[in-house]
Every structure is written in structure tokens, then in C-alpha cells.
């Protein structure tokens, strides 16, 4: 895959994650540079469902833009840079605040897989609380020290839960990362619903490991990606990407039909 194709795929992944309910107005997904592990790509500050390849910014691992310094930037980009620094194996990072996770994050309830697709998040992934190390803040991860602290909490896991804030997921590539983000959100939503009924049945450690191991060796990721691409294509066919920023044209009201005299 060429760099141009990789950047197009990253932009598409952002729109997919928005369409699948992972990202809303906030949140972002990035990609390590395929040819230079000391660089990564992340969109300019933008609504995730409007990200394009032309709006991507190339960063070094200190989260400093290599060029295009004048473009607006995400304040939490250090999440990506510090994780890429700490985890050479990670090729993509997604940070989100999906509503499906908010009940868990607000109550401190652990994420557990209750079906085989949810195994991609692991059993009881680690927690991180910005307040523990940095006291009262505006809740955004904006300094290298804060990003490095989050990366330490993530450790060798695939996902870290950020108390009262959001979730950060990592993957072997962009499609893998998007897949893990979507499937863990769906599992979290089902988990919260199941807990409202009663005790839940959780996958065993062995089941979780084996279910996660086949993620990259079956057609599951590809099938899911193709389906999600189709969903984005259908949406964009109805509502072009630039529709939100286009000025609305004033329309004349249709004339009222004349009432017949009886």
C-alpha cells in the first residue's frame, strides 16, 4: 500500500468510526507512518465524520507537526505520540468518548467480554485516572507528561479505560484498530444492558485469548471493514461531506392551494 493509499484509508477509518458510533464530534484515530516509525499521521482538528486525506497532519513522536503548522490541531494529540513512543508494535491509535462506555467509566465498572467479538478488548483492561497524578485539570490529556502516564497505564494491553473521560484503543494497523474500537463499543453497550438484568456470563481467559488470536487470521476484519465502508458510502451519497459547511439557500414557500367555494 502506498503512502497516499494509507492516508486515504486513515481518513476513511475516521468516518467509519463516526458512522459506527465510536467517534462523535470529538475523538480521533491516527496511524504510524508506514515508512518512518518516528512519525505519525493525525487529522487536523475536525469533526471525525468530515476527515479527509488532505486534512491529515504529519507529526514527529513529540507530537510536533512536520509541516502545516498553521492548521488547527487536536489538543490531545500527545495521546498518540506518547503511545507510539512507548509501544513500537502499535501502528494505529484511537481515542474516543463513546456513550456506550460512559456508564462503565462513571461507575468504575470493569470492561469484560460477554461475546467472542468483545474479546478484542481483553478482560478487565487497565484503568487510568488523570486526577491521580495531575490533580484537578480540565480533563484533557494535553502535555507529554500526561500522555506518557496514559501510555504507561496502557502497558502491553490493547485498551485502557480513562475514568470519567473516555477510552484509548491500539491496533496492529488502521483496520485492526477501527475493528477493535467498534467491537469493544458494541460489547460495552451490551454489557451495560445485561448488567441491568442481572449477573453476566463472562468469557474465560482462555476463550478471550483464543477469540482474540483469530482476529487477524480470519476474514472477520475484512468483512466488517467492507460493510462499514459501504455504510459510509451510502451516507455520503445522501449527504456529501461538504454539506454541513455549505450555506443554506433560502427557499420560497409553496403557494397555498386556493380553497374551493362550495
Check pLDDT > 50 for residue 91.
yes
pLDDT in tens, 98-157: 999 999 999 999 999 999 999 999 999 999 999 999 999 999 999 999 999 999 999 999
- At residue 216, the pLDDT reads 82
Question: Residue 175 belongs to what H/E stretch?
Answer: helix 174-195
CA geometry: angle 48, 53, 54, nearest 5 deg: 110
- Other Cβ atoms within 10 Å of 108 Cβ, number: 11
The tens digit of pLDDT for each residue in 36-57 reads 999 999 999 999 999 999 999 9
- Residue range 205-213: mean pLDDT, rounded: 96
Determine the average pLDDT of the residues in 180-201.
Answer: 97
pLDDT tens profile 144-154: 999 999 999 99
Q: Which domain holds residue 96?
A: 3-238
What does the pLDDT read at residue 242?
54
CATH code of the domain in which 136 resides: 3.40.225.10
110 within some domain: yes
Residue 134 main-chain phi, psi, to 5 deg: -120, 5
Is there a domain that residue 258 lies in? no
Q: How many CB atoms lie within 10 A of CB 223?
A: 10
**How high does pLDDT run on average in the chain?**
91
- Residue 248 counted as domain residue: no
Rg of the chain over all Cα atoms, to the nearest angstrom: 21
Residue 39 covered by a domain: yes
C-beta separation of 118 from 183 below 8 A: yes
Per DSSP bridges, beta strands 127-128 and 166-171 are unpaired
Does 260 fall in a domain? no
Q: Would 51 be classed as within a structural domain?
A: yes
Confidence category of residue 208, pLDDT binned at 50, 70, 90: very high
- pLDDT grade, residue 241 (50/70/90)? low
Position 262 in a domain: no
How many angstroms separate the CA atoms of 146 and 151, rounded? 9
* Residues marked as catalytic: 76
Buried b (16+ CB within 10 A) or exposed e, 239-250: eeeeeeeeeeee
Residue 210: inside a domain: yes
Average pLDDT, integer, range 208-232: 93
> Could you tell me if 93 and 80 are in contact, meaning their C-beta atoms sit under 8 angstroms apart?
yes
Strand order through the sheet with 28-32: 56-60, 39-43, 28-32, 92-96, 166-171, 159-162, 127-128
238: cell is 445522501
Assigned C-alpha cell, 205: 481467559
- Cell numbers representing residue 71 in the block: 492548521
Total number of domains constituting the chain: 1
Q: Please give the pLDDT value at position 256.
A: 43
Amino acid at each position: 500500500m502506498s503512502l497516499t493509499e494509507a492516508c486515504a484509508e486513515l481518513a476513511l477509518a475516521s468516518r467509519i468510526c463516526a458512522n459506527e458510533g465510536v467517534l462523535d464530534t470529538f475523538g480521533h484515530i491516527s496511524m504510524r507512518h508506514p515508512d518512518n516509525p518516528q512519525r505519525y499521521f493525525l487529522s487536523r482538528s475536525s469533526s471525525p465524520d468530515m476527515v479527509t486525506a488532505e486534512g491529515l497532519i504529519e507529526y514527529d513522536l513529540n507530537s510536533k507537526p512536520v509541516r502545516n503548522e498553521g492548521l488547527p490541531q487536536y489538543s490531545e494529540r500527545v495521546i498518540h505520540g506518547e503511545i507510539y513512543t512507548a509501544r513500537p508494535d502499535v501502528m494505529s491509535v484511537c481515542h474516543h468518548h463513546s456513550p456506550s462506555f460512559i456508564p462503565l467509566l462513571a461507575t468504575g465498572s470493569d470492561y469484560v467480554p460477554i461475546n467472542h467479538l468483545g474479546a478484542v478488548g481483553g478482560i478487565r483492561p487497565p484503568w487510568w485516572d488523570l486526577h491521580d497524578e495531575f490533580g484537578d485539570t480540565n480533563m484533557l490529556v494535553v502535555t507529554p507528561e500526561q500522555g506518557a502516564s496514559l501510555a504507561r497505564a496502557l502497558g502491553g494491553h490493547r485498551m485502557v479505560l480513562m475514568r470519567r473521560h473516555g477510552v484509548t484503543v491500539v491496533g496492529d494497523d488502521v483496520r485492526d484498530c477501527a475493528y477493535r474500537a467498534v467491537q469493544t463499543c458494541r460489547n460495552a453497550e451490551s454489557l451495560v444492558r445485561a448488567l441491568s438484568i442481572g449477573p453476566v456470563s463472562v468469557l474465560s481467559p482462555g476463550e478471550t485469548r483464543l477469540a482474540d488470536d483469530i482476529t487477524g487470521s480470519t476474514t472477520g476484519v475484512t468483512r466488517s471493514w467492507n460493510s462499514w465502508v459501504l455504510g459510509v458510502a451510502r451516507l455520503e451519497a445522501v449527504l456529501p461531506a461538504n454539506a454541513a459547511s455549505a450555506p443554506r439557500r433560502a427557499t420560497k414557500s409553496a403557494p397555498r392551494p386556493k380553497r374551493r367555494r362550495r
